[in-house]
Amino acid sequence: MDIKIGYYVELFIQFLLDHFKPFFSSISNVIEGFMTGTESALLLLPPLIFIISMALLAWFFTNRKIALFTLFGLLLVFGMGLWISFIKTFVLVLVAGFFSLCLGIPIGILCSKSKNTDRILTPTLDFMQTMPPFVYLIPAVMFFGIGQVPAVISTVIFAMPPAIRLTKLGLNQVPGELIEVGHSFGFTPFELLLKIQLPMATPSIMAGVNQSIMLSLSMVVIASMIGASGLGSNVLNGIQKMEIGVGFEAGLSVVILAIILDRITGNMRFGQKKHSK
Amino acid sequence: MNKIEVQDLTHIFGPHPKRGLKMIKAGQSKDDVLKKTGLTVGINNVNFTIRSNEIFVIMGLSGSGKSTLLRCLNRLIDPIEGRVIVNGTDIKSLDKKALREIRKKEFGMVFQNFGLLPYKTVLENTTLGLDVQTLSDEEKLERAEKSLEKVGLSGWEDKYPDELSGGMKQRVGLARALSVDPSILLMDEPFSALDPLIKQEMQELLLDLYDEMNKTVVFITHDLDEALKLGDRIAIMKDGEIVQLGTPEDILTNSKTPYVEDFVKNVNRSVVLTASNIMIKPSVLLYENDGLNVARYKMSQNNFTSIFVVDDKRRYKGLVLFEDVYQAIKNGENDISSLVRQTKIVCPDDTINDIASDLAQSDVPFPVIDGGNYLLGILVKGTILENI
C-alpha cells in the first residue's frame, strides 16, 4: 500500500502557486513594508531611550519589580552586542502577535456565535497546533520566498490558535443570566457583545493574547531556518559553528524578551476595575 | 384593564418539540412525553390575564415552569405555541427589531442572582439599560441617580458590586430595572438569594415603590409567605400548569387541590388571615328593646356568659354579662341600657396576628364591626386556635 497524501498536498500547493501568485506577492509586500518601517523606526531610536521607555511601560502596566527587570535585562542584551538582532526579533514577534490577535479574536467571536463555524474550526485548530511547526516553513517559503515575511506568516499560523480558543472560551463562559440581562433591556447582538460579553471575557482573552505572544516568540527562533534575521539566526549560527557562547548569549536574550512580554501582557487589565483593595 | 393576556401558552424544551406538542394535545401527561420522547414540558396550556397596576405573583416549586413562564412574557424564551398579548400587541408576531423596542419600552427585569456586571460601578450598572435608549447623557445620569435614590443607594454610585451586600446588590438590580421606567416589572425570584431579614426589608421596599408608581409587577417566588404578602393575585403552578389562581384569601381559605393545601399548611396563616375570614355569625343577639328576662332566657338557652346588644338595624351597641342580668333581675330592675358594657372592637381587615393576644386575655368574645357600626360577626378564642 502506498497512500500518497504528500503528493496531493504538493499538487494543491502548486495549484495555489500557479493561480494566486499576485495575491501572495501583494500580501508579502504589505507585511514587508510594515515590518521594515517598524524596524527602522525602532533602530533609529537610541537604544537607551528605547530601554527606558520599555521599563516605564512595564511600570505603568504592572509594577516596579518587572520594570526593574526590564531595565536591567535590556541593558544586558545591549551590552552583549545583540541589539540589532534583538530589535529584529522584537518586531517579528510584535507584528506576528498583532496579526494573530487581529485574526484570532474575531474568529474566536465568530466561533462562539456560530456552532457550525466552531464545528469546522475546532479540528482545524487542533491540526494547526499539533502539526510540527517546521512543516509550516516549507509552504511559507514557496509562497513568500525566504526572509522575514514567511517567518511572520508561519508564526501567525502557529500562534493564532490560543487566541481563538481562549476568546471563544471566555465568551462561552459569560453567565447566562448576564446575557438575559442584555436581552431584557432590548440590546442588539452587537450591543450585547460590546457591553456585556467582551468585557466579561476580557481576562480569558488576555490569557489568549499572552499565549499567542509566547508562541510567536518560540516560533521566531525556528523561523530563522528560513532566513529570518534576528536572535534566532544567532542561535542557528551557534549551532552550525558549534559555538556554545554565541548560542547561549542569543538564547539568553530570547529568554529576557520572553519574560518581559509575558509579565507585561499577563498583568494587563483592560476594562477591569482599576481599584485595589 | 388587562395589561398582559396569556392564551393557550405551551412551551416544550428539547429538539423537535412539535412531537411533544401533539402528545400533550392528545391528553398525555408531562411524564409520558418525557418517557417517550425525552422532551421536557415547561409550560402546559396556560391561560391567564394580568391586570394593569397589580402585583401578580407566580408561585411554584423549582421545575414547576414559573421562570419559563416569566421569560415567555418578554420572549426571552420563545414559546412554541400560544399567544402573549402585551398592551394589545401579540409579542409572538413581532420581528426582532420590534421585539427589542417593546422590551426597551415596556419591560424591566430583575434577576435572582442580581445580574450585575462586576467590572462596572453601581452607577454604570444602573445606566446599563439606559445606554441603549435614545436619551441625552445628562438625562441618563439624572434618571439613574433618581432610581438609585428611590432604592436608597444614593452615595454608593462609585462602588463596585463586590463591595456591596446581597440586599444592596439587588437594590442596584431594582434601580437598573426602574431607571428605564418600564410599565411592567418582571421579577424572577429576586429575593430568594437573600437572608430572611433582608428579604423582608426588600419586600417592604418593593411595596413602597409599588404604591408610588404606576407599574404592573409580575413576581416569581417559591415562598408562599412572600406570595401572600406581596400578591394582589397569586397563580400557583405545578408541572407547567396553573393549578389555582386567586387572591391571597382565596388561596388560603379555599385550596382547590391537595398540592395547594400542602403549600398552605406550612404557611404562617396568622399574618394573612383577617378577622373577616374567621369570624362566626352570632347565633343569637339581644336587641335594645328586649327586656331582662328575655336576655336571661337567650343566654341560658345557649349557655352564653355574655351576649351582644344591637339595635333594630343591627348596629352594634355593646354587650351584657349574664351575672349583671342575674343581679338586676334579683334587684327588680327591668332596663338593659344601664347594663350594657363596652369591649374591644375589631375591624374586618385586622389580621389574626393583631388580635390574638388581646383576645386570649379577654373573657368575652370580640365583635367585628364595619365602618357603619354594623355588626358583621364575632370572634371567639376557639376559632382563632382552629385557624393558626
**A203 in B contact zone (CB under 8 Å):** no
**In this structure, what DSSP letter does residue B89 have?**
E
Contacts of A23 (CB under 8 A, 6+ apart): none
Element (H, E) at B4: strand B2-13
Chain A residues within an 8 Å CB radius of B102: 186
A11-21 confidence digits (pLDDT tens): 888 888 888 88
What is the chain A residue with the closest CA to B121?
Answer: A273
Residues B141 and B287 in one domain: no
Average pLDDT, chain A: 87
**B115·A180 Cβ contact <8 A:** yes
Chain B residues within an 8 Å CB radius of A275: 160
> Which region holds residue B4: left if phi is over 0, alpha if psi is between -120 and 50, else beta?
beta
Of B206, B240, B267, at which residue does a domain stop?
Answer: B267
Answer yes or no: is pLDDT of A276 > 60.
no
Chain A residues within an 8 Å CB radius of B160: 273, 275
Q: What is the pLDDT of residue A269?
A: 61
Q: Of B113, B115, B132, which has the smallest distance from its Cβ to A191's Cβ?
A: B132
Q: What is the pLDDT of residue B175?
A: 94
Smallest CA–CA distance, residue B117 to chain A, in Å, is: 8
**A180·B107 Cβ contact <8 A:** no
**A184·B117 Cβ contact <8 A:** no
**A271 in B contact zone (CB under 8 Å):** yes
Of B247, B267, B287, at which residue does a domain stop?
Answer: B267
**In this structure, what DSSP letter does residue B80 have?**
S
CATH of the domain at B35: 3.40.50.300
Chain A residues within an 8 Å CB radius of B186: 184
Chain B residues within an 8 Å CB radius of A195: 128, 131
Chain B residues within an 8 Å CB radius of A202: 119
Residues B323 and B358 in one domain: yes
Q: For residue B184, what is its C-alpha cell?
A: 411592567
What does each C-alpha distance from A178 to A187, A195, A274, B113 come to in angstroms?
12, 11, 22, 10
Chain B residues within an 8 Å CB radius of A274: none
What is the total residue count of chain A? 277
Low-confidence winner among A160-164, A244-248, B311-315 (lowest mean pLDDT):
B311-315
Q: What is the pLDDT of residue B388?
A: 62
What is the chain B residue with the closest CA to A182?
Answer: B129
Mean pLDDT across A153-163: 89
Rounded percentage of chain A residues whose pLDDT exceeds 90: 33
Smallest CA–CA distance, residue A133 to chain B, in Å, is: 39
Spatial contact of A257 and A93, defined as CB atoms under 8 Å apart: yes
CA distance B295 to B312: 16
Answer yes or no: is pLDDT of B57 > 90.
yes
What is the chain A residue with the closest CA to B109?
Answer: A184
Residues B27 and B93 in one domain: yes
Answer yes or no: is pLDDT of B290 > 90.
no
Smallest CA–CA distance, residue B269 to chain A, in Å, is: 34
Q: Of A185, A196, A275, which has the smallest distance from its Cβ to B104's Cβ?
A: A185
Q: What is the pLDDT of residue A271?
A: 45
Answer yes or no: is pLDDT of B269 > 80.
no
Q: What is the pLDDT of residue B25?
A: 83
Q: Write the DSSP string, A202-232.
A: HHHHHHHHHHHHHHHHHHHHHGGGGT--SHH
Per-position b or e across A72-89, b if 16+ CB within 10 A of its CB: ebbeebbeeebbebbbbb
Residue with cell 516553513: A137
How many CB atoms neighbour CB B179 within 10 A? 25
How many CB atoms neighbour CB A69 within 10 A? 17
B190-209 confidence digits (pLDDT tens): 999 888 888 989 999 999 99
Mean pLDDT across B369-383: 84
Residues B224 and B358 in one domain: no
Number of separate domains in chain B: 2
**B111·A181 Cβ contact <8 A:** yes
CATH of the domain at B376: 3.10.580.10
**A188 in B contact zone (CB under 8 Å):** yes
**A275·B160 Cβ contact <8 A:** yes
Give me Rg for the CA atoms of chain A: 21
Helices A148-172 and A83-113 pack at an angle, to 10 degrees, of: 40
Q: Of B111, B117, B160, which has the smallest distance from its Cβ to A196's Cβ?
A: B117
Element (H, E) at B354: helix B352-361
Residues B57 and B135 in one domain: yes
What is the chain B residue with the closest CA to A273?
Answer: B119
Residues B57 and B173 in one domain: yes
Interface test with A, best of B128, B159, B163 (most A CBs within 10 A): B128
Residues B187 and B154 in one domain: yes
Of the candidates A28, A246, A276, which has an alpha carbon nearest to the alpha carbon of residue A152?
A28
**B101·A178 Cβ contact <8 A:** no
Spell out the domains of chain A, with CATH numbers in brackets: 26-267 (1.10.3720.10)
Q: What is the pLDDT of residue B264?
A: 75
Q: Is the Cα torsion angle A31, A34, A38, A40 positive or negative in sign? A: positive
Mean pLDDT across B251-266: 78
Q: For residue A197, what is its C-alpha cell?
A: 460579553
Alpha helices, DSSP H, located in chain A: 5-44, 47-61, 64-79, 83-113, 115-130, 134-144, 148-172, 176-184, 189-192, 198-222, 231-241, 244-267
Question: Is-above-0.80 flag for pTM?
Answer: no
What is the chain B residue with the closest CA to A202?
Answer: B119
Residues B310 and B239 in one domain: no
Answer yes or no: is pLDDT of A272 > 60.
no
Q: What is the pLDDT of residue B387?
A: 67
Residues B298 and B205 in one domain: no
**A187·B119 Cβ contact <8 A:** no
Mean pLDDT across B145-169: 91
CA distance B119 to A112: 22
Residues B332 and B228 in one domain: no
Residues B263 and B299 in one domain: no
Interface test with B, best of A181, A190, A198, A276 (most B CBs within 10 A): A181
Element (H, E) at B204: helix B196-212
Q: Of A181, A186, A273, which has the smallest distance from its Cβ to B101's Cβ?
A: A186
Q: For residue A258, what is its C-alpha cell?
A: 520572553
**A186 in B contact zone (CB under 8 Å):** yes
Smallest CA–CA distance, residue A272 to chain B, in Å, is: 5
Residues B88 and B218 in one domain: yes
**A183 in B contact zone (CB under 8 Å):** yes
Q: In this predicted model, which residue has the larger pLDDT, B83 or B1? A: B83
Beta pairing class for B216-221 and B184-188: parallel
Q: What is the ipTM of this complex?
A: 0.73
Q: What is the pLDDT of residue A270?
A: 53
Q: What is the pLDDT of residue B265?
A: 74
CA A228, chain centre distance (Å): 15
Low-confidence winner among A49-53, A58-62, A71-75, B116-120 (lowest mean pLDDT):
A58-62
Confidence band, pLDDT 50/70/90 cuts, at residue B188: very high
Smallest CA–CA distance, residue B164 to chain A, in Å, is: 14
| Amino acid identity, position A78 | F
**A179 in B contact zone (CB under 8 Å):** no
Q: What is the pLDDT of residue A274?
A: 46
Average pLDDT, chain B: 87
Q: What is the pLDDT of residue B283?
A: 79
Of B239, B267, B295, at which residue does a domain stop?
Answer: B267
CA distance B228 to B234: 8
Mean pLDDT across A160-183: 93
- Print the domain residue range for B336: 276-387
Interface test with B, best of A177, A180, A185 (most B CBs within 10 A): A185
Q: Of A184, A188, A191, which has the smallest distance from its Cβ to B109's Cβ?
A: A184
Interface test with A, best of B99, B100, B176 (most A CBs within 10 A): B100
Burial of B14 (0-12, 13-18, 19+ CB in 10 A): middle
Smallest CA–CA distance, residue A270 to chain B, in Å, is: 10
**A185·B111 Cβ contact <8 A:** no
